[in-house]
Amino acid sequence: MATITPTSGVMPAPHRRGTLTMSEKVVQKLAAQGASELPFVGGLRGGVLGVGRHADAEQRPQASVEISGTTVAVFLDVAFDFPTDLAARSADIRRHVTATLERATGLQVRRIDITVKPLTPTTDRRDRSLR
């Protein structure tokens, strides 16, 4: 075990600090978790090969990402209760997921595409938290 003693107290230039490599899978999970933190966002559950899937407020939405350098494009499949203001809800998701990803990864979010899979009648939702 080595002890490193700072000599000048000045942080090295960014290009000399090293790099951090993050897999797309990690960024996908962060995007899905960020979206699921909003109380009106749900995911899909069940089915075989996409047949018979249904909305579930307790599930995280599906996410996929495309990372290019320091930017990321996010693609989310979400479920909403009906009726809802789709434009307002989508804007809320974009703001929250962008803030979550930029804070956690340092990547710049260039776009977030949202596909609303099912719209389901409003039901009582339990409060969700990260467990």
118 vs 50 pLDDT, higher one = 118
Residue 33 resides in a domain: yes
Which CATH number covers residue 110? 3.30.70.1350
Binned at pLDDT 50, 70 and 90, residue 124 comes out as very low
Residue 66 resides in a domain: yes
CB neighbour list of residue 90: distance below 8 Å, 6 or more residues apart? 114
- Say how far apart CA 115 and CA 76 lie, in whole Å: 6
Residue 7 resides in a domain: no
**Boundaries of domain holding 92:** 22-45+54-120
Residue 17 resides in a domain: no
Residue 115 resides in a domain: yes
Residue 38 resides in a domain: yes
Q: What is the pLDDT of residue 5?
A: 47
CB neighbour list of residue 32: distance below 8 Å, 6 or more residues apart? 43, 60, 61, 62, 63, 76
Q: What is the pLDDT of residue 114?
A: 94
- Work out how many domains the chain is built from and give that number: 1
